[in-house]
Chains A and B, each alone.
Chain A
Amino acid sequence: MLLREVSYARPGTVDEAIALLAENDGARALAGGQTLLNVMKQRAASPDVLVDLGRLDELRTISVSGASLEIGAMTTLTSLIRSSEVDVTRPILAEVAATVADVQVRNRGTLGGNICVNDPTNHFPPLLVALGASMTIRNAGGERTVSAEEFFLGVFETAVGEGDLLTRISVPAAGKGMGDGISGVTLGAHGTYIANAAASVADGSWRIALGCVAAVPSRATAVEGKLSGTDVDEASARAAVEGLGATLDPPSDVHASAEYRRSLAETSTVRAVLQAVEKARG
């Protein structure tokens, strides 16, 4: 399929990439391209300038710094799956990466791209909210760090604005007494989600984020409060989640009615919480 005419630049440094994004109207960063090129075919996105981040190896690093796992925005999902740093510090990231699309897409698709698209059905936005991740964004004026909740602003919208570049995702390293879980229903085995929930527990303190029920991942704060500091088992998880669906206003579409999504959100939350409990036990 023929794309609309577009111009192209391949910067060799992050500074150059930022300058290109700032200086050119209609410029857009091209990461792995597994979403962007396909929506360009559909004319759902029509950037005038593509700034190819493919040569910015400094954005492909994974490292552990103190108690934080630092992931370059251009890290491919395949690299996440194979990273010993991820495996040791926050293995759920690799487990989730392995369920995105297929081998070819994972070889090109990046973590930064997955979250900058912020499709509400994508895997990583709710997970990163539950994990308490933060994102580092650079522009010509300098660098700022935002929490995952501040990062996701709306459908296809994030805190990465004009002239901005997401450079890094920081995830707290897991320790003793911490556990993560994610559960949901997808379109096909490794398809996008219809509804999901990600849960993370650290010493009895919970973070739970729901996917596909709103424009951005939504925290289930009431459930978090009920679970907090308690010894969670299946019965108490079910009791804590009771009524969660009624507080949500999810969309209805060809895949699921709003009512079904409310039900899936509750069931997914229970399952994610129980996974996290199991993992926290070690």
Chain B
Amino acid sequence: MATTPVFDQVVRVSVNGTTYEREVPARRLLVHFLRDDLALTGTHIGCDTGSCGACTVHLNGVPVKSCALLAVQADGAAVTTVEGISEDDALTPLQQSFSDHHALQCGYCTPGMLMSAAALLDENPSPTEDEVKVALQGNICRCTGYWNIVEAVVAAGKGAA
């Protein structure tokens, strides 16, 4: 016997280490859940079509686009947003490297860039320039400031190695 489909469902999601339990409509995108229900506005909405990567978060440690995921799909998962990558308001080495290399202009894409880069560094602590470019392929910077972003991530990797 199959369960009955529902329009609203209670989800339990751990976001940046805090567990939230909320009833959400099935149609709510994860990015809206984070921004509107949890007031975590560090995750940005750029294109809303799954192309720009500004909404990138980690779902169980893996980078995904939170505008291409329903909140109900994250039920039971651990989500990390850009607010959750540093502790006590201190910058992570990656964030410090973005600052040092002037790796942002308007800053709109930065949360997504940081989340993609952080996921890369978790897996590959000293990525090459080409590896960084592949890892950031899903993140668009409308200021076209890619060069400094790539430099910042490569440098952060070398720093961590």
Contact = CB atoms under 8 A, between A and B. Distances in A.
Interface of A: 1-11, 16, 19-20, 23-24, 27, 30, 33-34, 37-38, 41, 49-52, 54, 78, 101-105, 107-108, 189-190
Interface string B50-80: 1001001000001111011110110100000
B68 A37 contact: yes
A37 B73 CA distance: 12
A61 B68 CA distance: 23
B42 interface: no
Interface of B: 1-7, 9, 25-27, 29, 48-50, 53, 56, 62-65, 67-70, 72-73, 75, 116, 119, 134-135, 137-139
A108 B73 CA distance: 11
Nearest to B63: A104
Given A54-B73, A102-B53, A5 B68 contact: no
A16 B3 contact: yes
A-B pairs, top 5 by smallest CB distance, nearest first, are A102-B138, A8-B26, A7-B5, A3-B27, A19-B2
Decide if the interface of chain A is mainly helix, strand, loop or mixed: mixed
Contacts of B48: 1, 41
Given A3-B27, A23-B2, A107-B64, 10 more contacts: A3-B29, A7-B6, A8-B26, A24-B5, A33-B70, A34-B50, A49-B5, A104-B64, A104-B65, A105-B138
A19 B5 CA distance: 12
B84 to A, nearest CB: 17
B27 A20 contact: no
Contacts of A102: 53, 137-139
A20 B75 CA distance: 20
A16 B3 CA distance: 8
A5 B26 CA distance: 8
A102 B135 CA distance: 8
B135 A8 contact: no
A7 B26 contact: yes
Nearest to B137: A102
B35 to A, nearest CB: 13
